[in-house]
Amino acid sequence: MNTLLKRSGLAVAVAGLCVTAGLSQASSHREAPFITEMPKVDGTDFYMFRSYETGRADFVTLIANYLPLQDAYGGPNYFDLDEDAIYEIHIDNSGNAQEDLTFRFRFTDTLNDIQIPVGDAGNEQMVSVPLKNIGDATAPGNVQLSQSYTVEVIRGDRRTGTVETVTNVDTGMGTFDKPLDNIGEKSFADYAAYADQHVFEMAIPGCGTNGRVFVGQRKEAFAVNLGEIFDLVNVNNPLGDRNVETNDLADKNVTSFALEVPTDCLTGTAVNADDQPIVGGWTTASVRQARVLNPAPQANGKGATVEGGAYTQVSRLGMPLVNEVVIGLKDKDLFNASEPKDDGQFATYVTHPTLPELIEILFSAAGAEAPNNFPRTDLVAAFLTGVPANSPVGVQASEMLRLNTAVAPTALDAQNDLGFVAGDSAGFPNGRRPYDDVVDVALRVAMGALVDGAPNQNTPFTDGVQLAADPATLSDEYESFPYLITPIPGAVN
């Protein structure tokens, strides 16, 4: 038996799950050819962790990020979501690689056509303005275009299961308002306070305790020297300090779907065990099968296309960067359209991963040498099935983020961004938190950190970028729901 398989289950999980994470810290931006054409439904990150906000330890937070690489100044339309698409977070609590619970989001645009008088006195014409707002965006009547959304919970198959509506506890209705993006400090004197008003208490049918929901723009929560990484890992020193490279995404925003759900609403029954605490999760986005362009679109883009047919999945994300640096280029669009239950078709990318070989080619002069225990059955066990400490009994091989909800959360100031590697059992790959730096773990483990006798078993590879060297220095916003911080304003007043 391979020495690695004799190690603890959690150590094996680190090995298998981290090799899928690739070189940049836990993101999946523009990872497949087709999704680059549809940024509004491009899933970038998925977080799943026991809530570590004070008093919320009985909840699990799920965060699905979409619409990557947002420049804060990207007006006048900014970054609305696609009202013709559906966005979903799936939970497998039985280990069969199929969703048992799905949270589905749909969006609706509301146009308040704002017109102002233009022309000589007594001969003015009322003309529609080109901007989203004409003054303080928090004041009534000043916003021209806004979005609201609904949340549905589906039990069973996402297309044929039982569908129920999640309600806004404050209003008793099934709709929630999405805040405008952070246009700038003249439009929003206090954007943080404005966004906080869009954190809603939600009543989930079938759950005895209410949860919380927020959908809106946030600042990117991960750090990576993105340009250098994809320029053949053009970093100054992959064996140097952990926080010396440029974070290319420090000035980017993203759109976050954040749910805080009672833990007992997510857990289910495993194949051979009752009330097991382990859940798997992944996100998707789907659009209508047919889309025809309208040569004479209506106001605000309504009628720009005619949508029809069944919903077709175009984005998928569980573990970070699987599609970006693990799946071969020819299969990237196929992976985005696939479901976990069919992941056997991608097994070769795990049994014979290319990432370690590429690192060896790029840094052989520095002593990089990839492990050669092929096929990588150790990685298959962890990547596709999990291990006893982090996997349901009888689990079907599949790719998704897994969380053992029985492990107590770690307070932010005590978290270690290397997760399990550093002994923080509540960190990646037991779910994933915003502070977790999967990239350094990935580089070390992919190159044999957990394989006895591997040439680079004790080599501290790094991409040179961290979210923060010390979690105590992070903004207080990272300590509470929705856990991602106020987005960068498009302009400073």
The answer to the question of residue 55 being in a domain is yes
The answer to the question of residue 401 being in a domain is yes
445, 437 Cβ separation under 8 angstroms: no
Q: What is the pLDDT of residues 48-73, one digit of tens each?
A: 999 999 999 999 999 999 999 999 99
The answer to the question of residue 66 being in a domain is yes
Q: What is the pLDDT of residue 9?
A: 36
Q: What is the pLDDT of residues 29-41, one digit of tens each?
A: 788 888 889 999 9
What is the number of domains present in the chain?
A: 1
DSSP 385-431: I--GGGS-TTPPP---EEEETTSPP--GGG--TTGGGGT-TTSTTSS
The answer to the question of residue 199 being in a domain is yes
Determine the average pLDDT of the residues in 172-182.
Answer: 98
370 band by pLDDT with thresholds 50, 70 and 90:
confident
Q: What are phi and psi of 276, to 5 degrees?
A: -70, 150
87 band by pLDDT with thresholds 50, 70 and 90:
very high
pLDDT at residue 82 is higher than 80: yes
Q: What are phi and psi of 8, to 5 degrees?
A: -60, 150
387 band by pLDDT with thresholds 50, 70 and 90:
low
Q: What is the pLDDT of residues 287-333, one digit of tens each?
A: 999 999 888 887 655 678 888 999 999 999 998 878 887 889 999 99
Determine the average pLDDT of the residues in 353-366.
Answer: 85
The answer to the question of residue 490 being in a domain is no
Q: What is the pLDDT of residues 99-143, one digit of tens each?
A: 999 999 999 999 999 999 999 998 999 999 999 999 999 999 999
Q: What's the domain range around 247?
A: 35-478
The answer to the question of residue 265 being in a domain is yes
| Amino acid, res. 385 | T
Q: Which residue do the tokens 């007043």 mark?
A: 493
Two structure tokens written together for 326: 């693990």
The answer to the question of residue 192 being in a domain is yes
Q: What is the pLDDT of residue 11?
A: 35
The answer to the question of residue 491 being in a domain is no
Least reliable range by pLDDT among 177-186, 237-246, 341-350, 410-419: 237-246
Q: What is the pLDDT of residue 256?
A: 98
pTM of the model: 0.91
